[in-house]
Structure 1
Amino acid sequence: MRRRQSDIATDPEAFEAFYRRHVDAIARFLARRVDDPHTVADLVAEVFVAVLDSAHTYRPGLGSEIAWLYGVARNTLSAERRRAFKETRLAGRLGGRRLLDSDDLAELEERIDAESVARRAFEAMAELPDGDRAMLELVVIDQLTIGEAATALGIRQGAARARLHRARRALRNVPEMAPFVLEGI
């Protein structure tokens, strides 16, 4: 029997099962967007802390666990980017990171290397409007369905389809994007 999402906030076994089911997907999601293994490790932890705080917001009828979790991860990454921008602007980046052992560091570096093509694709998408880019990322790179991506972004499926079509049309002539956008044009 599948436990309700809100159980993960109060039941350590439910949380552990949820974590084990999704930690690799979240690490890959973040490694596609961040090229520093320390930051990836910190963000993975932050995502699951945020899950504990927001488990009550998950509605199974609106999408899968992974779609909801990607939404949590996107919000966590956005918050981190805002924080890092402020920190860099004010004082530069020093300290505040936990030390990784060599196995953790090697594993995260492998993930980051494996996601280098996707990071180059993200660079090519930088000129797209935020909503169109987010939709393309979730559907084409993260492999969510249009409905799941709509859930992660908090929009309707019709709007999601329109955003995806605009993004694909805008990038169809960009060589780095060919493997990502040609499907479904």
Structure 2
Amino acid sequence: MGPRRNDRDDDALLLAAGAGDADAFRVFYRNHVAAVIGFLLRRCGDAETAAELAGETFAAALIACPRYRPGAAPARDWLLRIALRALGEHRRSGRVPTAARRQLAMQRIALTEQDLRRVEQLALLDPDAAILHAVDELEETQRAAVIARVVEEREWADVAAELACSEAAARTHVSSGLAQLRRRLAGGTA
């Protein structure tokens, strides 16, 4: 489920965008718009809301990119954390946040049915969409175990401590979660 492009390229794009290079941010946007829309659409279930949240996410990222510093997490994770904050604000208030778009003087765009279909299609272009969706559908303990061990590559002892179980039980949760993922991704049922 790793990144499809070099994380250093994304870092360089964000650093250049932070220095005022609009083309660099445009490339970063194109590289990640499908992932952001897919991420948001899977969590909110509504194409129009996902599109508005994506707009706010990228506006906030554009504002924040001068402060971006490459680190342990890939730039895509940094961007998805911004999306998650926008989604959290939406869930708390019942409205899509607009502060970043207002700060950039971006007008709200009314979406047509064709635009909404495009949002749904764009979400399907995310190369990780199928696996992320399948992971989201795992039982909570299996999901936490798979993410901790496979995605975050944490030690078995850490996974067991997070799940409040033995290492053997943590291994079982990961193994059964991965088996369900294989079945789902192969088109079978879990």
User: How high is the TM-score relative to the length of structure 2?
Assistant: 0.56
What is the Cα deviation at residue 36 of structure 1?
A: 0.8
1:146 to 143, 148, 152: 152
Looking at structure 2, the residues matched to 118 and 5 of structure 1 have their Cα atoms a distance apart, in angstroms, of 24
- After superposition, the C-alpha distances for 1:126-183 in whole angstroms (9 at most, x for unaligned) are x66xx949x84x998xxxx416xxxxxxxxx569x624886x839958xxx922799x
Aligned-partner residue type, residue 17 of structure 2? I
1:105 aligns with 2:116: yes
Looking at structure 1, the residues matched to 63 and 42 of structure 2 have their Cα atoms a distance apart, in angstroms, of 25
Asked if structure 1 preserves the Cα contact closer than 8 Å seen for 2:60 and 2:82, the reply is yes
1:23 to 29, 33, 38: 33
C-alpha spacing 1:17/1:31, structure 2 compared with 1 (3 Å): same
What is the Cα deviation at residue 83 of structure 1?
A: 1.8
Aligned-partner residue type, residue 69 of structure 2? R
Q: Which residue in 1 is equivalent to 2:181?
A: 179
Looking at structure 2, the residues matched to 61 and 7 of structure 1 have their Cα atoms a distance apart, in angstroms, of 16
- Counterpart mapping for 1:1-185 below 5 A: 2=9, 3=12, 5-9=14-18, 10-84=20-94, 98-110=109-121, 122=136, 125=139, 132=144, 136=147, 145-146=151-152, 162=159, 163=162, 169=173, 172=176, 178-179=180-181
Looking at structure 2, the residues matched to 49 and 68 of structure 1 have their Cα atoms a distance apart, in angstroms, of 14
C-alpha spacing 1:61/1:109, structure 2 compared with 1 (3 Å): closer
Asked if structure 1 preserves the Cα contact closer than 8 Å seen for 2:34 and 2:123, the reply is no
Q: Identity rate of aligned residues, in percent?
A: 27
Q: Cα RMSD over matched residues?
A: 4.5
Stretches of structure 1 that go unaligned for 5 or more consecutive residues are: 86-96, 148-156
